[in-house]
Chain A
Amino acid sequence: MDATGGARDAGPFGGRALTVALLGNPNTGKSSLFTALAGIPTRVANYPGVTVEEKVGRFVHRGRSIELIDLPGTYSLSPKSPDEAVAVDVLRGRVEGVPVPECVVLVVDATNIERNLYLASQALELGLPTVIALSLSDVAQERGIEINVDELARRLGCAVVPVVAPRRQGITGLADAILAATASRPPAGLLGELGAVDQSHTAPAREAIGRYAWIEGVLEGVVRRRVVVRSIDDRIDRIVTHRLWGTLLFAATMLAVFSSIFWLATPAMEAISSGIDQVSEWTRAILPEGAIRSLLVDGILAGAGSVVVFVPQIALLFLWIALLEGCGYLSRAAFLMDRLLVGVGLSGKSFIPLLSSFACAIPGIMAARTIENRRDRLLTILLAPLMSCSARLPVYLLLSGAFVPNVAVAGIGWLRLPAVVLVCLYALGVVVAAAVAFVLTRTVFRGPPQPFVMELPGWRWPRGAVVLERVREATWSFVANAGTLILAVSVVIWALSSYPHDEGAIDAEVARERETLSARLRPGALPVIDAEDATILGEHLAALDTPEGLEAARRGAAQRQSFLGRAGRLIEPVVRPLGWDWRIGCAAIASFPAREVVLGTLGVIYNLGDADPGEEEGATALVRRLRSATWDDSGRKVFTLPVALSIMVFFALCAQCASTLVVIGRETGSWVWPAVSFTSMTVLAWLGALLTYQIGTALLP
C-alpha cells in the first residue's frame, strides 16, 4: 500500500477520516458518482489476494475528511463471483487493511428502481448507516418516471438523495446526508417485514419472492409509471438485434472501432515518434558521445517514446468504449457475439477486447476492464496477445514478401501465396487462442460455472463528462502505472544490448569480418557462390571502407558482443531445431522491448546500421542482406522458405513484447500472470516454429 494507505489516518483538516463505501448494481453510474464525490482516486490497487480493483478516493466535506471506497458492482449480497464477494467482504469488515465502513452509499438507478431495490433490501439489513443515491434521476424524469423521494425515504428508513453525477447535481446534498447518517441510528432491518411466502418454493425462491413483494409494497404509490422500457427502446432494439440489419450495423460499428485504432491512431503515433526522434536528435547534438548520451537517447528517450506511442490507441479505443457503453450499445454488441464465444468458454463481452488486440494487445487488454466476471476477464487478457497485432505485420510482410514464392494458389490468378501465408498467420493466432481457451476453461479455470446474465440498459445519449473521464482514467492509468515500468524495462534492455562495450574487441571483429568476406570472394574459394551473392558480398565488403558502412559494422559488432548478443549465441542450441542461426535468436531476444524492433535489430546485427526496414529502401537492403546470409560453419543459406515460415510462426505466437507483459501485470494485479503468459506463449511459439520448420524441410527438398 502506498503513502496514502492507512485508511484512518488524519485528514488534511485533522481528525479521523470517515470511511464510506459506495455500493450498487453494475452500470448504475457508480463510477461517475465516485468521480463527482471524490474526484480522481487517490489510490487504485488490488484487494489483497484477488484481482479485484480497489479504488479509494478522498474528499473533505464541511471540515470532515471522508474516504470513499468504490466497491465492485454487485446485484446482490449473496455473491456469485469473486468481485461480488469482495463487495460483501468489505461491508462486513473482512478484508485486511480495509476498515469496516461507517456509512454505505447505495447507488440506485432511478430508471430501474424495482430491480435495484433488491440490493437495497439486503444492504439495509447490514445495520450500517445508509444513504441512497438515486442516480440517473434526470433520465428517469425524461422517461416520465416520477418518484416521491420523501415518501420513499420514509418507507426505507434512510435518506434518499436524487443525483445527476455528471452534472454534479445533488452531490452536496448527498455529502450532507452521509454526515447526517453517520450521526444517527442505522435503519432497522427489514427481514421481519418480509411477509409469509408459499412454503412449496425453494429457499432462494422464497427469499427472492419475499424481497420483491417487499419492494412492490415500498414502491406502491411512491413511483408513478415504474415501467421504463419505452416504445423507442423497443424500436431501436428491434433493428439493433435484427438478424440482418443488426448484424450489418454491428459489423459497421466494429469496423469503425477497429479502423480507428488501426489506422486513425497512426498519424498521432507517427507524430509522437517523430517528436521523440526530434528530441533525441537535439540531445545527441548537445551531449558529447558516450555512455550518458546513449543512456539518455537509446535508453530513456526511446523507452519514453515506446510508452507515449500507445496513448493514441488507448485513448481512441476507450473513447469508443465510453460512447458505446454510454448509449447502451456495448451490451448489445456482447449480446450479438455471445454465441460465438460461448464455445471457447467466454462470453460476448470478450469480443471488443479481443478484436482490439488485432491492432494492439495493450488497449485490448485494458478494454477487458469492461468484463465484470473475473475469470472471463483474466482469460481474455491471456488470449489477447495471441491475436496478431499491428507490430507483427511488418515482420510478416517483409519475410513473406522476400521468401515466400509469389505464385498463384490453386490456379487462381489473383490469389498469391504470400497473401495466403499472411491470412494463415492471422488465423493461426485465433485458432491457437481458441484451443488455449478450450484447454484452460477445462483445467486451470475450471470451477463452478459463474452465472451469466447481462442487463441491456435503455438507450440514451452518452454523456460528455462520463466519456471524457473514462478516456482520461484509462490513459492516465496506463501512463502512470504501466508507463513507468515499461520505461524501466527499456532502460534495462538498453543496458543489456550496450554492455559490455570493448572497442578493441569490436575492431577485431570488424577486421575478421573483412577477412571472411575477402576469403569468400577470392576466386576458387569454397563453397562456390553465385553471381548475385558475389555482388552482395562485394557491396558488403566495399561498404566497410565507407565511414557509414564501418560505423554500421561496428554497431553490429557491439550488439553481437553485448550481453544480449551473447545470450543469442548461448541459446543457439535451442533455436537451431527451428532452423535459426544465432543471429536470428539474438534478434528474437532483442525484440523483447517491442516486437516491431525485430526488423531493426536484424538490420543492426547484419551491419546495416539504422537503415529503417519500415521504409522501402531499408527493407530492400535488409532483404538483400538476409538473402545472402550464410551459416558460420558452412556456406549454406540461412534464410530459406521453411526458416522464414518458422520465424513468422514464432512471432505470431510469442510474447516478445515487454509492454504487453507489463500491462498484463498491472491489469491482473499480479506478476504471476505475465510470467504464465510469457512462458506458455514462448513454449507455444517454439513448438509452432519447430513444427513449421521440420515439416517444411521434410516437404520442401
Chain B
Amino acid sequence: MRGPIPGEVDVASLKEVAVGSTAEVAVVSGCDPMTERLLEMGITPGVRVKVVGRAPLGDPLELEVRGYRLSIRRNDAARVMVCAERAGALIGDAVVPR
C-alpha cells in the first residue's frame, strides 16, 4: 500500500468520505480481484467519485462514478484512497446539495 501522495492534503479512504461529498481517487490499494474489479468498474486514479448514500443498515455505500451508480461495501471502499474535494462540486448534471 502506498502512503499519502506527496503534495496532497487530506488523503483519506472512500469509506470516510461524507455522504453527498465528492472526492478524487488517488490510489486503489491491493492486488486482489476486488481491487481489479473496482478499477474495471471505473474507479481509477484520477476519477471523481461521489458518495451518494449509505444503506439504512450502514452498509453498503452508493457511489456515483463515470456517470453511473454503483454499490460497494464499506470494507472494500476502505482500499480506495481519495483526496477529498470541497463539497458542493459539480458532477455532471447532478448538483450536490449543501
Contacts and interface: CB of A to CB of B under 8 A. Distances in A.
B53 A237 contact: yes
Contact of A228 (B45, B67, B70): B67
Nearest to A204: B36
Interface in A194-221: 200-202, 204-205, 207-209, 212
Contact of A241 (B33, B41, B46, B62): B62
B58 interface: yes
B39 A208 contact: yes
Contact of B62 (A75, A205, A456): A456
A612 interface: no
A233 B68 CA distance: 10
A157 to B, nearest CB: 22
Interface string B25-37: 0011001111111
Contact of B69 (A114, A201, A233, A342): A233
Contacts of A228: 67-68
A112 B68 contact: yes
A229 B68 contact: yes
A238 interface: yes
B60 A451 contact: no
23 contacts: A75-B41, A80-B36, A115-B67, A201-B27, A208-B44, A212-B66, A228-B67, A229-B93, A231-B95, A237-B52, A336-B55, A339-B58, A342-B73, A448-B32, A451-B33, A451-B36, A452-B72, A452-B76, A455-B68, A456-B62, A456-B69, A457-B68, A458-B68
Given A115-B42, A229-B94, A331 B55 contact: no
Nearest to B2: A200
B91 interface: yes
A118 interface: yes
Interface of A: 75-76, 78, 80, 112, 114-115, 118, 200-202, 204-205, 207-209, 212, 226-231, 233-234, 237-238, 241-243, 246-247, 331, 335-336, 338-340, 342, 448-458
A336 B33 contact: no
Contacts of B95: 231
B62 to A, nearest CB: 6
B16 interface: no
Interface string B9-53: 000000000000000000110011111111111101111000011
Interface string B50-88: 001111111110101011111111001000000000000
Contact of B93 (A76, A227, A246): A227
Scoring A208, A226, A227, A243 by chain B CB atoms within 10 A of each residue's CB, the highest score goes to A208
B40 A205 contact: no
A11 B59 CA distance: 52
Contacts of B38: 451, 453
B37 A75 contact: yes
B49 to A, nearest CB: 12
Dominant secondary structure at the B interface: mixed
Contacts of A207: 39
B92 interface: yes
Contacts of B32: 448
A209 B71 contact: no
B55 A205 contact: no
B59 A448 contact: no
B55 A338 contact: yes
Nearest to A116: B68
Contacts of B54: 241
A451 B45 contact: no
A456 B54 CA distance: 13
Contacts of A234: 52, 94
B60 A339 contact: yes
B54 to A, nearest CB: 8
Contacts of A227: 67, 91-94
Nearest to B63: A456
A531 B33 CA distance: 74
B41 A453 contact: yes
A114 B67 CA distance: 8
Given A205-B27, A209-B46, 8 more contacts: A229-B67, A241-B53, A241-B56, A247-B56, A335-B62, A338-B60, A455-B71, A457-B69
